Chain A
């Protein structure tokens, strides 16, 4: 579990990522507050999972870490370097330091490049000039992600590969520059259920072998326990609960986490016999999120005159940090 001695690789302080909304292409019409005050540290070699429903800001958070979005406010430090505002060449170089595994493997691969070219691109761009050296590294990384025999795959185009194989190529591309951190944004949600485990195990194997730090993003609680040490639960732009994985899965504290767990099915014929208890409604608009606790309109345990008024902050409860007034 989290080793307090380990050094911090990535540090996020009070990060805000807001997108400006424009009316008819011009004129300010508010902000989409996709990430609204997120703070956490990630250590070398640590894996964390970020869980939340789609639209809660997971990808916006990741893209900001990857340098693809500009943070609106807050600080990002990577290897003790302030990377909140690099520009131009510095930004380009920073981006190459983090591996990125996307959700839709087919979309993530340029359809007109073959596997070799796809994997060579990051090398070319980052100054590996010798083609022999490039091919050596491409072959090595393909072995790593078990795209073997390598010669069968080297010249294939993405549409000739199955979804699982495509995702292997994406993973190979993410690790070919030997990053210290890999961000995997819902890497298996578009894949067939039968391939998901395969891909997750591959990622975990690579993580262990290279001591990678991994941020695993998902909306599916049932996969996090096979992958991460800590879990952050996100709701409407906020992280509402941070906890070690076992404790979070067995003993969730935030009412939203509880709802997520209750909604997640294990295969069981009895599931068909009862209705599931679910919080009513849908996640709020991120343009005008509810005051106080953002979950309060849906929360079965909300405390009147408190939850809808004051915003909860991270409260320590056992080994959890919970943004919920119930734990005050």
Chain B
């Protein structure tokens, strides 16, 4: 225990260790948050997506914080609903002869310099035969009231304000939205800032009838991470990509290092044909095209991340590292303490696992930690090549989508940069920690 405290204290003497631990800590916190707040099934469902899941979001919306970097503030999307806790105020007044009047209002501050892309109302109503009747009104900051629509709504009905032809006629313009956000008859090209209100009043004609509405504004910006071409909130793959990347990286690094080491230990301890065989396999494996095999597996067999992980580990076991380990094992094999262990009757297995391998741990741990990012990058690269796991939201998939959609040509840098920053954070974190660990475990490198 005290040894643990001591090594931790040793570790914290290195600034690189602190940077590394902070980065890794941040990634772990993100992972924990993602796993707790978004269950796996939910994550895959959301990622599979479709219009019914993501209809509320705009496409290609950069994240909201883009406004920090620009004087011209872009509208940030939002969605509210009249359901309990949905943000809108809803009052129901029961009238005579089974009628009720439902008044739904929502007011919001609009402080942007651009017009939104779209305003949409999604109605949901319940009734037996008689459709509820709805009137929608828009109230500008100056208090002017604009009639938007009067309609009978079906069980579900979508009303896109900009595309309503009656409204276009009434406002005498094709561009409905600008008309709603400027004072009537003014020539201004930018929206008036202030508090707007939308007011939906519905009348139902049956005892248990009800009307609910979702009001969605598609701005040009969306949320903390933005959206992609399928309107998906990029927070999902960024959050969920973290535990996946870490799991892939750590499992691959751990699996590869441990197996490599055990095989190297067995080979160097027994020598003879076992060692020869391992050496030959390594040499063959070294000339096998690693990526090409992964691509073939991905194309013809399975793109499941676990299959790819397995193949990656399998192909990485017999790597050049095996020769490095072997060289060290050959040295410790003849060291006096191994000879002593043989002399008091230690079995081969115990020598390998309790004497040879522990000696290697100081070499193994820094190498293992430093190799995590390699595998994280590998997984991302495979995804970019279109071999990402088909169901999991990952960083690599985000980049792939971005490229496939020409994000960089369209100036949608956020789409690539966000996963790239996380990848770099991973690389930096593990590399820095590995560096510090190397200094600690291999004191030859240490300054006195």
Chain A residues within CB distance 8 Å of chain B = 63, 66-68, 92-93, 95-96, 98, 100, 102-104, 107-112, 121-122, 125-126, 170, 173, 177
Contacts and interface: CB of A to CB of B under 8 A. Distances in A.
A67 B344 CA distance: 10
A68 B343 contact: yes
19 contacts: A68-B339, A68-B342, A95-B344, A95-B345, A96-B344, A102-B340, A103-B336, A104-B336, A107-B337, A108-B337, A108-B340, A110-B337, A110-B355, A121-B341, A121-B344, A122-B344, A122-B345, A170-B340, A173-B344
A110 B339 CA distance: 11
B11 to A, nearest CB: 18
Nearest to B355: A110
Contact of B345 (A92, A102, A170, A173): A92
B119 to A, nearest CB: 69
B387 to A, nearest CB: 41
A132 to B, nearest CB: 21
Given A100-B343, A121-B346, A126-B345, 19 more contacts: A68-B342, A92-B345, A95-B342, A96-B343, A100-B339, A102-B336, A103-B336, A108-B337, A108-B340, A109-B337, A110-B337, A110-B341, A111-B337, A121-B341, A125-B344, A125-B346, A126-B344, A173-B344, A177-B344
Given A104-B336, A125-B350, A112 B359 contact: yes
Contacts of A102: 336, 339-340
B335 interface: yes
B385 interface: no
B343 A107 contact: no
Closest 3 CB pairs of A and B: A96-B345, A122-B344, A107-B336
Contacts of A104: 336
Contacts of A68: 339, 342-343
A125 B345 contact: yes
Interface residues of B, number: 18
B409 to A, nearest CB: 56
Contacts of B344: 95-96, 100, 121-122, 125-126, 173, 177
A122 B347 CA distance: 11
B337 A95 contact: no
A66 B342 CA distance: 9
B288 interface: no
Contacts of B350: 125
B359 A173 contact: no
Interface in B343-372: 343-347, 350, 354-355, 358-359, 361
A173 B345 CA distance: 12
B113 to A, nearest CB: 66
A110 B343 contact: no
Contact of A98 (B343, B355, B359): B343
Nearest to A157: B3
Contacts of B345: 92-93, 95-96, 122, 125-126
Contacts of B361: 112
Contacts of A110: 337, 341, 355, 358-359
A86 B342 CA distance: 14
B181 to A, nearest CB: 72
A100 to B, nearest CB: 4
B354 to A, nearest CB: 8
| A67, A108, A177 — most chain B CB neighbours (10 Å) | A108
B337 A92 contact: no
A108 B334 CA distance: 11
Contacts of B337: 107-111
B343 A66 contact: yes
A95 B345 CA distance: 5
A108 B347 contact: no
A326 B279 CA distance: 56
B32 to A, nearest CB: 33
B347 A125 contact: yes
Contacts of B358: 110, 112
Contacts of B339: 63, 68, 100, 102, 108
A96 to B, nearest CB: 3
A122 B343 CA distance: 9
Interface string B315-345: 0000000000000000000011101111111
A86 to B, nearest CB: 12
Contacts of A67: 343
A233 to B, nearest CB: 25
A241 B78 CA distance: 101
A112 B364 CA distance: 14
A68 B336 CA distance: 12
